[in-house]
Structure 1
C-alpha cells in the first residue's frame, strides 16, 4: 500500500500565512456537505452537522484504504458562510443572520459508489442529519485567502481588510461564499490558539 496521503500538505488550498493576503486559483473539488442557519455557538443544527459529517468521512477513508489500497488523512472541517448583509461578518458580527454549510473534502479518486457505501455504513451510528447530507462539487476558482490565528470573534478586522482594502485594490470583487478552513479542532483547541484559513472567492471587477 502507498503512503498515507495528507491533502493539507499537497494542495495549495491549504497553504496560508498569518498577515498575508494571497490570491489563489483553486481546482474544483467534491465535498460532503450539510447545510444550516444561525449562530454556530447556540444552534443545535451546527453540532448535529458535525456529528453527521465525521462518521461518513471516516467510513469513506476506511473504504478507500480497504477497497482501493489508498489511505489518506481525513481533511479538516470547513465552513461556507453567507448572509444577506456581509457586514454581519465584519463589523456587526450578527451570527444569528448567518447561513452556513459545513463540509469535508474528499480526494479526487473517490466515486459515488464509495460515498453511498460509506453513508450506508455510517447509518449504523445514527448521525442526526444523515438524510440531509450530500456529496457535491465546489468550484470556487480564484480566491483570496489568509491565515487567522486566534478566536473566531477576532476575525472581523481581518475580513474587513480583505473585503474593503485588498480585494478592491487588486481590481477584484467578491463572489461566492465566505469560506473557512478549520486547521485546528475548535472543539478541543482554546480560542487563542486556533488556526483558521479565511478565504473569499473573487472575480475581476
Structure 2
C-alpha cells in the first residue's frame, strides 16, 4: 500500500476549515508559497487569467517532481492576497481598485531550487503543448517569469467560511470590518486573504466555499 499524500488542508485543518458565518481568531504560522502578483478586476483581466494558469502549471510540475523523488502531496488550493488603498473597496466590490497576489501553499520540504526548476520545466512544457492538461485550468498565454517562491507569516488573523458567490462577500466583510473587529479591539494588519476551497468551473456559485481571512493586531 502506498503512503497517503501529504495534504496541507488536513495538516492545518483549523486554518482551512472554519465554520460558515462565524468569525474565529487564528494564528497563522510561516508557510512557503508559489506566488505571482498583479492588479485589476480578476473577472476581466487577461493578466489575472495568465497568472493563475502559470501558477497552477508550475504547482503541478513541482508536485510531480517531488512525487518522483519520493514525497507526494496534494496541490493546495488557490489563495489570494487582496489589497486596495481603501479597504472598503472589498465590501463595495470595486474590483478595478484591487491589487492581488495569487498563491499556492507548498510543503515545507520544497526548496527554492525546486521551484526554479519547476518554473523552467513548466515554461518549456507549456510552450511545447504538453503542460496544459497538468495545469487543468483555462488555457491562456501565461507568463512564467513572475512566478516565484515566497515565505509569508500572517500571524494573528480573523477568518470565516463564506458559502456562496464571490460577489456576495460584501455583507460578511462589512460585518467583519465594521462590527467584529472594532468590538474586539482589532485593526487591519495586512491584506485581505481569500482561500478558494471550491473550483468555480465545477461548483455552482451559490455553493462555492471560500475562507475569508483578515490579518489583525490589537488596537
Q: Decide: shared fold, TM above 0.5.
A: yes
Q: Which runs of 5+ in 1 are unaligned?
A: none
The number of equivalent residue pairs is 203
Aligned to 1:25: 27
Distance apart, 1:49 and its partner CA: 0.8
Distance apart, 1:184 and its partner CA: 0.3
Answer yes or no: is the 8 Å Cα contact 1:2–1:70 preserved in 2.
no
Aligned to 2:56: 54
Answer yes or no: is the 8 Å Cα contact 2:40–2:95 preserved in 1.
yes
Q: Which runs of 5+ in 2 are unaligned?
A: 128-140
Answer yes or no: is the 8 Å Cα contact 1:21–1:145 preserved in 2.
yes
Distance apart, 1:15 and its partner CA: 2.0
Aligned to 1:44: 46
**Cα-to-partner distance string for 1:49-72 (whole Å, 9 max, x where unaligned):** 1110011100111111111x1111
Distance, in Å, in 1 between the alignment partners of 2:88 and 2:216 is 17
SS in 1 for 2:210: strand
Distance, in Å, in 1 between the alignment partners of 2:44 and 2:102 is 15
Aligned to 2:116: 116
**Cα-to-partner distance string for 1:95-145 (whole Å, 9 max, x where unaligned):** 111111111110111111211111121012146220111110111101000
Task: Give TM-score, length-normalised by structure 1.
Answer: 0.95
SS in 2 for 1:109: coil
Answer yes or no: is the 8 Å Cα contact 2:82–2:98 preserved in 1.
yes
Aligned to 1:193: 207
Aligned to 2:37: 35
Aligned to 1:86: 87
SS in 2 for 1:192: helix
Distance, in Å, in 2 between the alignment partners of 1:85 and 1:187 is 30
SS in 2 for 1:139: strand
Moved >6 Å (runs of 4+): none
Distance, in Å, in 2 between the alignment partners of 1:3 and 1:87 is 43
SS in 2 for 1:188: coil
